[in-house]
Chain A
Amino acid sequence: MEKFMLIFHGQQMDETAFQDLSPEDFQAEIEKWNTWIGGIAAQGKMIGTEALLPAGKVLTDGGKVVTDGPFTEGKEIVGGYMLLTADTFDEAIELAQGCPMFETGGKVEVRQIQKFE
């Protein structure tokens, strides 16, 4: 059993992006995520998942310079992550393929957690 991290890369959504969503849209979106995450959890493969607030701080120069971030190139930011277990890398990819991120043009990065020893 290996551990993997799925990193969700998405568009930096500004507030106007949400103004056009109807209550029905909000519910549909939540249900998509709920189904996907719930499905992984139901298989006992989920370790944890969190969303990140869009704004943060970036420390550079030995931690002496603190600026507002994140400033990845373009408007793409890391919006959240999930830690899960899978037998193989392929299985982790398969699990990631159901992620609702893809419907809004997002990307999911799959990384295996390194085991030391």
Chain B
Amino acid sequence: MTTIDLPERAGESASADGGALAKSKRARKLSGGSRVAPFLFLLPFMVLFAIFFLLPIAYAIYQSLFHTEVSGLGLGPNSTVTKFVGLGNFSSVLSDHSFFSGLGRVILFGIVQVPIMLALATVLALLLDSASTRFKRFFRLSFFLPYGVPGVIAAILWSFLYLPGLSPIVSILRSAGFGTINFLGIHSVLWSIANIITWEYTGYNMLIIYAGLQAIPQSLFEAARIDGASEIKVALKIKLPLIFSSIVLTAVFSIIGTLQLFSEPQVLRAVTTNISSSFTPNLLAYTKAFVENDPNVAAAVAVILALGTFILSFGFLKLVQRRAFSEVEL
């Protein structure tokens, strides 16, 4: 699979010395083809991308700068007044205690859950890649299976498994002498959600890392094996550094996902009162928009969240990229 990238890379390095040749070839290619064709090809995507990606972002920013006030009883055509408030909505969100407790909650969640899930995914991928492991196909399929269950359905399914009276897990733990464990308590519910996410996405992340492992040429560790290096040593010293970029990719996707946390807590609200309407920033945005009818503040929350996600995932990517390169140079 690494070969996929080779032609392009070869072209890049060639352009250093034989750049003129490549350029003249490209110029010929362009004059041979139509000049309008690429733009026509890009048109459908760019139009839809502009309407459904760029426009909503712009509109959210625009909305977040205004505030609609209801005067009197809120009846009649002139009862609402929309006025420009600048960064007023942002300051009201940033001074809102519930926004920060929700944000703190997803950050805590991310710090604990993402490393656990990725460590698990990495270990499973390495074990599946190890020569001495048997029943590989069965394991790979069963680890990947939960990803085929949509998030909402996974959350409903686990909510049943957390519910005392319905859950065989609760009753088994009780008869094993652990007492009645409350998976939906005020402190435990966050970790019950973490379990749902781990269940859903470990296999998916494992597959990304596993695909990275499969791309490593066998010859690289055959030599080490002949030299008598143990399977564990091969995994840690050779494989792990080589799949670093795959792990980074899974980390970025996991960070984005964590900050967006919504469906699982929203579903669990059906079985517990310990999830408030501002449990995560996204839940807060939803509540502001559809329960409190305040789209302006909701837009401000969405903007802060999108910006934060973008900065965090981009920053993380840059941070580890630098480290990855220094490792490659070693």
Real binding pair: no
Which residues of B does A touch, CB under 8 Å?
none
